[in-house]
Structure 1
């Protein structure tokens, strides 16, 4: 894989002038953690090791290779990009670390966007129902733990975090009812809403899609002063918001440059959150958990190189291979900045070809431009390497939306054939060699699915334990 040779760096040693003294304290904390990343990491490791073993020496404690704990119990904890649910250990102190990280977001945003303390925010938050492990331990996502904690429910008023969503709607485990009520309250306060957001971008995209599908019902509720009979739980305990309808006529990372282009987003890992190590990508494929693997410390990664993230946490994970592949894009003071590349082993492959998610996304974007004359867009997509025939071939599933006519005619077969060719032209040289010269890969195929298919896919995943906050369509 090609590696960037020009590494952008941040010339300034501080983040900038704070909007107020409260922000100044937070920004000074960020600067200190970043400027002393290696020292902070050594302190974190010593604290983690002191919980279980007498030795706190970095050199002696890390003399064993990374391991992969068998944490693959199916649970309602967070879903991953690979579509696997994992049961992670957690402790009470984790909420304190999370709250600290969340408190750093607004001070950074205030450097770039003035007026965040004005008006209200339509922020979408969700919880999941709780389950018990075979041993009787409570199992629930970390965000659910936070929203159900007094940290969140008894939070003091903060003009920067004045949200339209009532707490009871957030704490409703039924994702449809929770989304419906939060969207309804946002529409009711629409003249005060100045910003919209969610913890994860995928959740915000889901909210936009939800509005496309249910805007007529929401509008009827507002006009009629009624509430949909589908809402049986999420409106309880929210008299100042949802019941007003009847009275009317109704992680782990920090982006220090939040206004940059999405394609340029890099994250700075806060070195006080856990102990971070990095496995060079060229060694990741052969590392099986034994032998000398030459892990690299946070402060010693090299610009332009790609690594697999390995973490040791306060929660009991020891040298856990997360599965994220990161590229070092630059440095802020002594702290490296990373760009997420892909999930490990998440590749589309028929033969010797290897197509990652970023390359597939680029190909879909290129092909979808051919749909513009038909007022059609690709709402969602996923892919599959079909190998039941010889030669095998890529199958790409598209859900389209025709603007102005949701039930209208979709682009014809000739247009879709051109889209297939456009996608193939964007794929790598190994694919094109196998496709054209060798004939070992068959023609790429695009299959159109009916509207709402990916919504149903998400609902099915949520019913099996996925979190709506973190669910992402498997590409």
Structure 2
């Protein structure tokens, strides 16, 4: 106890010293920080983190033993803050109608910006709020399963949002990351991923690769494929490529953190010349884990990374969130299928049955009443301003931890194709598309999106409503009409309702388009805000963008 208290005091003193004017945390002094200072700060933060994690795990276990009571307490806090007179789940559900489904398509939320340093970490020991409790639990789990994953400067993070720096899941340990925070604030996503990758390549002893979404890691390693010669040149010279569009001040500050490393540049050239399978472990031999969010719409990218660049590495998705709220944490990274414990103190959750036979008037069940093996649509009330909002996420209850359900996301309701009410969900359409691509000799699916013809308006022609599908392929430059029609045939085989409408002529045949290589990466770069890839486009701007890249 004495040693733990001393560690806390030392951490606070060091943090305060760094914050004083002219201290190590200001201006150019930060760039000259000595290695021993980094290691000491990191060690002290780990000591405080260990104590906070113990408290948070006990809080979570207590809440999971009486989920109903934990949810009622949370609702009392939420309604009390809104000035409610009679808080309570029965009164709340009777008086507050269900809101319309959210239109965010299941976007994964970023953690709110929090003050760095021991004060925030110590504060997390006394609260069950998700922005504080979630990262502490995640880092504790990561250190238990992958003991070296929390090494100082041992994690490369790939992330970008227009005009701001995304707060990382590991905010209690800012010394964890090998790239400066400014690398995530450059004007474009492509430039940010390039700079973050360059700083990652400087650190041969990386233990973890981290990204807000698996598509960000996929695109970062795509930068390696396309630009490894430029990266090697930058490593050797200690300067950023002149072709990289950066503000001059930003370029100058980043280059002050670089130094020429001809040996590492030669190693990069040699490994890239050998090919891409397993390149991550060859470039960083001590890698232990890949930490990413992998929502259903981005399954394609996770599969591609596991098969090629990240061969042999375990993938860990720590959080589940929807509509801007953090809802659950994955405490079992060693499991092949991600399962998230819905933490009863983070948001008030209700559930609408969404499995087979779930028809009739919507009546919600509470977190304490869900059943194992059943699918439910999530209804959320959270501090983010949501009040009984149908967020468009369908979950499946896998099992229970004490009384608390462990769930896995199934589908996003906004990502369902339906021109006549036939309802083709994204995850099943993806499987059908893969089956069709397998019938095209030499072809490999790189990426895809879909749209309903109504979004095109008059430009879709006078034919019956139909699906517009845009694909990027590797190994095939053109498609014959017979090959294009294979997708429509597969859809008829997999979806009997769709086949019925096709036979009646009330749904027209699929129109399949081949786009140029890199079109979908450019689409994500142009989006301007992070979020899971939308497989069913609902807005004209991204549809027109991808139409402009059609080559066949």
TM-score range, shorter chain: 0.7 to 0.9
**What is the deviation of 1:95?**
12
Deviations along 1:128-186, one digit per CA (max 9) or x if unpaired, are 327xxxxxxxxxxxx84x46x9x94xx5566xxx2222112123353232211101111
Task: Say which of 451, 471, 474 aligns to 1:384.
Answer: 451
Q: Are the structure 2 counterparts of residues 117 and 459 from structure 1 closer, same or farther at C-alpha, using a change threshold of 3 Å?
A: closer
Partner of 1:416: 483
Alignment correspondent of 1:49: 79
Is the partner of 2:94 in helix, strand or coil?
A: coil
Could you tell me how far 1:101 is from its partner in structure 2? 0.8
Shift of 1:421: 5.9
Matches within 5 A, 1:48-127: 48-51=78-81, 52-68=83-99, 80-81=104-105, 97-118=130-151, 120-127=154-161
Distance 1:95 1:36, change over 3 A: closer
Q: Is the 8 A contact 1:363 1:426 kept in 2?
A: no
Separation (CA, whole Å) in 2 of partners of 1:284 and 1:164:
49
Q: Quick check: 34-43 or 20-29, which moved more? A: 20-29
Q: Structure 1 residues 418 and 322 mapped into 2: Cα distance closer, same or farther (>3 Å)?
A: closer
TM-score with structure 1 setting the length: 0.72
2-structure distance, mates of 1:123, 1:95: 26
Residues 57, 424 of structure 1: CA spacing in aligned structure 2 closer, same or farther, 3 A cutoff? closer
Higher relative contact order (CA 8 A, sep 6+): 1
- Paired residue for 2:422? 353
Structure 1 residue 69, shift from structure 2 partner: 7.8
Residue among 162, 171, 178 paired with 2:185: 171
Q: Deviations over 1:300-332 (max 9, x none)?
A: 112333322222222432222222122223222
Task: Answer yes or no: is 1:452 the counterpart of 2:499.
Answer: no
Contact 2:56–2:128 (Cα < 8 Å) also in 1: no
Matches within 5 A, 1:292-303: 293-303=362-372
SS of the residue corresponding to residue 160 of structure 2 reads coil
Does residue 1:254 correspond to 2:254, yes or no? no
Partner Cα distance (2:187, 2:63) in 1? 37
Please give the TM-score of this superposition, normalised by the length of structure 2.
Answer: 0.63
What residue number does 1:16 align with? Answer: none
Q: Secondary structure at the match of 1:314?
A: coil
Q: Given the superposition, is the C-alpha separation of residues 395 and 275 from structure 1 closer, same or farther in structure 2, using an over 3 Å criterion?
A: same
**For the residues of structure 2 that align with 1:294 and 1:311, how far apart are their CA atoms?**
14
Do structure 1's residue 232 and structure 2's residue 246 form an aligned pair? yes
**2:66 is aligned with 1:36:** yes
Say whether the 8 Å CA contact 2:432–2:487 is kept in structure 1. no
SS at match of 2:393: strand
CA distance in 2 between partners of 1:453 and 1:95 (Å): 43
2:429 alignment partner, SS class = helix
Q: Answer yes or no: is 1:279 the counterpart of 2:349.
A: no
1:337 to 402, 406, 416: 406
Aligned residues: 404
The CA RMSD over aligned residues, in Å, is 3.9
Distance apart, 1:260 and its partner CA? 3.2
Shift of 1:231: 4.4
Q: Distance in 1 between matches of 2:379 and 2:463?
A: 39
- Cross-structure match for 2:547: none
Could you tell me which residue of structure 2 aligns to residue 3 of structure 1? none
Matches for 1:153-192 after TM superposition, within 5 Å: 155-156=172-173, 162-189=176-203, 191-192=204-205
* Structure with greater helix share of residues: 2
Measure the CA separation in 1 of the matches of 2:348 and 2:189: 34
1:426-441 matches, within 5 Å, as 427-435=494-502, 437-441=503-507
| 1:255-300 superposed Cα distances (whole Å, 9 cap, x missing partner) | 2333333xx433221111121112233899877xxxxx53211111
Unpaired segments ≥5 residues, structure 1:
1-18, 73-79, 131-142, 288-292, 403-408
**Over residues 2-21 of structure 1, what are the superposed CA-to-partner deviations in whole Å (9 max), with x where a residue is unaligned?**
xxxxxxxxxxxxxxxxx977
Within 1, Cα distance between the matches of 2:75 and 2:199? 45
Kept after mapping to 1: 8 A contact 2:240/2:255: no
- Quote the residue 1:205 is aligned against: 218
Structure 2: gaps of 5 or more residues: 1-48, 116-123, 266-320, 455-460, 537-552
